[in-house]
Amino acid sequence: MEYRNMTRGELESLLAQEKEKYAAIKSAGLSLDMSRGIPARKQLDLSQEMLGILVSEEDCEGEDGRDYRSYGLPDGTPEAKRMFSYITGAPVDNIIVCGNSSLNVMFDTVARNMLLGVSKSSEPWSRQGNIKFLCPVPGYDRHFSICETFGIEMINIPMTPEGPDMDAVEAAVRDPLVKGIWCVPKYSNPDGITYSDETVRRFAALKPAAPDFRIFWDNAYIVHDLYDDGDSLMDIFAECEKYGSADMVYMFVSTSKITFPGSGVAAIISSPANTAYIKSVMAMQTICHDKLNQLRHAKFLCSHEKIKEHMKKHAELLRPKFVAVCETLERELAGTGIAEWNTPRGGYFISLNVCDGCAKRVYNLMAELGVKLTPAGATFPYGNDPRDRNLRIAPTYPTIDELKKAVDALCVCVKIACIEKLLAK
C-alpha cells in the first residue's frame, strides 16, 4: 500500500515500528563508509600479478627496444595506446596516454581551455566572461567541483532513462557562453543509465552557438558490465564523423576500476586536431608520464579478450552486491510510493530517490547509525539538490553481509524520514 494513502493512525503506528527498528540497529552498532565508489580488496587482488610483470631490465624495454625507464614518449607508449584501443575501439593515433588519474586529465583539460583555449587560434575560456557548463543531474560531484574551482557557472540538465534531456541540451547550447557538458554516457554516475543511440546521435548532431563548446565524455565505466550482455553504448566519434563534429568531443577513460584505483593509467581520446593541440601543450607540461606503469598495464591487459575476461571477474564480485541492494530495496520499499531506484546493469552506483525534502534527513539518520553515505546533494552542482531527494548508494566496497545490514538500515531511515514528512503535511 502506498504510504500516501494511509491514514494518520496507520502512519503513526508504522513510524513507531520503524523507530524501534532504528533503535535496535543503533544499539547493535554499525561502522561503514559507503560514501565513494571504491573497489573492494578482492577486486584489487585480481590485478596483483601485474606488479610482478615488470621487474628485470629487459622487462622495461618497449617493443621497439626503447628503455621505458628513461624520458620520452610524452603522449604515451604504443603498447598502452593499443590497450586503450582495445578498451574503447578508438584508433591509436587519437589516444594520448597520461598518468594515473582521468580526473586529473579532465581538470587539466578544463584548465588548459581556460588559459589557452580549445585550440591554438581559439580565445581562452577565461577571457570570454561568465562561461557555463551543462550538468546532467544527478551526476558526479567531482565533475562539478572542477567547474566550481574555476568559477564556471553550472546549469542543471535533468536525466531521463535515455540519458540527459536532449531538448534541454539543444536549447541550452544556443547560449554562446555555454562551453561544455559533463557526461558519463555508460552506466552513468549515479543513475547507472546508458545513453540511448538516439541520445548519442543528438549529441553528435549538436550545433552549439559556441564554436569552442566541448562534450566531456567521461567513459569511466566503459567495460564495467555486471552481466554478460552488458549495455551497449553507441560510438560517439563514429556518429560525429557524419556531422563533421569530431572536435566537439573529449573522451576520458582509465583503468582505475580495472586494475588499481590509485595506480592505474588514464587516457584522453579525441579528434586528430584536438589530439595534436593537446600534445603540443602537454609537451610543455611534462617530459613524459610513467611509461613503466603504462607497460605494466599493457602487458597485463594484453588483448580485448583478456580485458573482457578480467572484467568478468570483477562482475562476479560486484553483481551479488548490486543484487543484494536491489533485492532489499524491492522487499522493503516496493509499492510504498516513497522511493524509486534504478537497477543498473553495470557501473558503480545505485541511485535512490526518496520523497522530496527527505534525502538530507536520511543521510543524517544513517550517519547517526554509523553509516557514511555520499552526502545528500552531492550529486548536484553546488551540493544543492533542489528537491532534496537523491541519494547515491555505493555498494562495491562493503562485504555482502555489511551491505545487507546497511541497506536494511537505509530502508528504515527512508521510511522514518518519509513518514515524518507525510505526517507533517
Smallest distance from a copy of itself to CB 397, Å: 9
Instruction: Return the number of the residue (286 or 303) whose C-beta is nearest a copy of itself.
Output: 286
Closest CA to 194 of 156, 164, 170, 174: 164
Q: Which residues contact 218 (CB under 8 A, 6 or more apart)?
A: 102, 106, 140, 143, 182, 183, 184, 185, 251, 252
- Applying CB under 8 A, which of residues 72, 158, 211, 386 lies at the interface with a copy of itself? 72
In this chain, which of 68, 140, 203, 213 binds a copy of itself, going by CB under 8 A? 68
- CA pair distance 222, 231, nearest whole angstrom: 9
Beta carbon of residue 64, minimum distance to a copy of itself (angstroms, whole number):
15
The yes or no reply on residue 52 touching a copy of itself (CB under 8 A) is: yes
| 41 near a copy of itself (CB under 8 A) | yes
Which cell is 280 given?
603540443
State which of residues 10, 12, 67, 241 lies at the interface with a copy of itself (CB under 8 A): 67
Binds a copy of itself by CB under 8 A, chosen from 25, 54, 135, 414: 54
Of residues 18, 32, 39, 350, which one binds a copy of itself by CB under 8 A? Answer: 39
Region of 23-31, 54-62, 158-166, 370-378 interacting with a copy of itself (CB under 8 A): 54-62
**Residues touching a copy of itself: how many (CB under 8 A)?**
55
Alpha-carbon distance of 68 to 56, in angstroms, equals 12
Kindly identify the residues of this chain, within the stretch 284-343, that bind a copy of itself according to CB under 8 A: 284-293
CA angle 160, 398, 352 (to 5 degrees): 25
Query: Among 85, 88, 94, 100, which residue sits at the site for a copy of itself (rule: CB under 8 A)?
Result: 100
- Least Å distance, CB 100 to a copy of itself, is 5
Instruction: Write down the least CB distance from residue 1 to a copy of itself, Å.
Output: 43
Q: Closest CB to a copy of itself among 11 and 38?
A: 38
CA dist list (Å): 187 to 26, 241, 347, 412: 34, 24, 5, 27
Residues 109-168 interacting with a copy of itself (rule: CB under 8 A): 111, 114-116, 126, 142, 145-146, 148-150
Our CB check for a copy of itself shows the closer of 16 and 292 to be 292
- Assigned C-alpha cell, 336: 510504498
> How big is the chain by its Cα radius of gyration, in Å?
23
Of 13-21, 40-48, 154-162, 404-412, which part binds a copy of itself (CB under 8 A)?
40-48
Q: Is 38 in the site for a copy of itself (CB under 8 A)?
A: yes
Q: Is 51 in the site for a copy of itself (CB under 8 A)?
A: yes
Which of 163/377 has CB closer to a copy of itself? 377
Q: Which is nearer to a copy of itself, 29 or 262 (CB)?
A: 262
Q: What is the rounded CA–CA span in Å between residue 210 and residue 180? A: 9
Q: Which three cell numbers stand for residue 79?
A: 603498447
Least distance between a copy of itself and beta carbon 253 (Å): 16
Q: Which single residue is written with the C-alpha cell 608520464? A: 289
Nearer to a copy of itself, 9 or 262 (CB): 262
Strands (E), 117-269: 132-137, 153-160, 163-164, 178-183, 214-218, 249-254, 266-269
- 3-state SS string for 52-115: HCCCCCHHHECCCCCECCCCCCCCCCHHHHHHHHHHHCCCHHHEEECCCCHHHHHHHHHHHHHH
CB of 289 to a copy of itself, least distance (A): 7
Question: Grid coordinates representing 22?
Answer: 532504528
One-letter amino acid for residue 2 of the chain: E
Q: Does 48 bind a copy of itself (CB under 8 A)?
A: yes
Asked if omega into 386 is within 30° of 0 (cis), the reply is: no
* Residues from 247 through 276 that contact a copy of itself (CB under 8 A): 260-263
Instruction: Count the neighbouring beta carbons within 10 Å of the beta carbon of residue 396.
Output: 22
Under a CB-based contact definition with an 8 Å cutoff, are residues 391 and 311 in contact? Answer: no
**12 or 67, CB closer to a copy of itself?**
67
φ, ψ of residue 258 in degrees (nearest 5): -110, -45
36: contact with a copy of itself by CB under 8 A = yes
CA 60: distance to chain centroid? 33
Question: Do the beta carbons of residue 406 and residue 362 sit within 8 Å?
Answer: no
Q: Applying CB under 8 A, does 220 fall inside the site for a copy of itself?
A: no
Closest distance to a copy of itself from the beta carbon of 111 (Å): 5
What CA dihedral angle connects 369, 372, 377 and 379, to 10 degrees? -140
Query: In what helix (H) or strand (E) does residue 34 lie, and over which residues does it extend?
Result: strand 32-34
Amino acid symbol at 78 = P
Q: How far is the CB of 391 from a copy of itself (least distance, A)?
A: 21
Instruction: List residues binding a copy of itself (CB under 8 A).
Output: 36, 38-39, 41, 44-45, 47-48, 51-52, 54-57, 59-60, 67-72, 99-101, 103-104, 107-108, 111, 114-116, 126, 142, 145-146, 148-150, 260-263, 281, 284-293
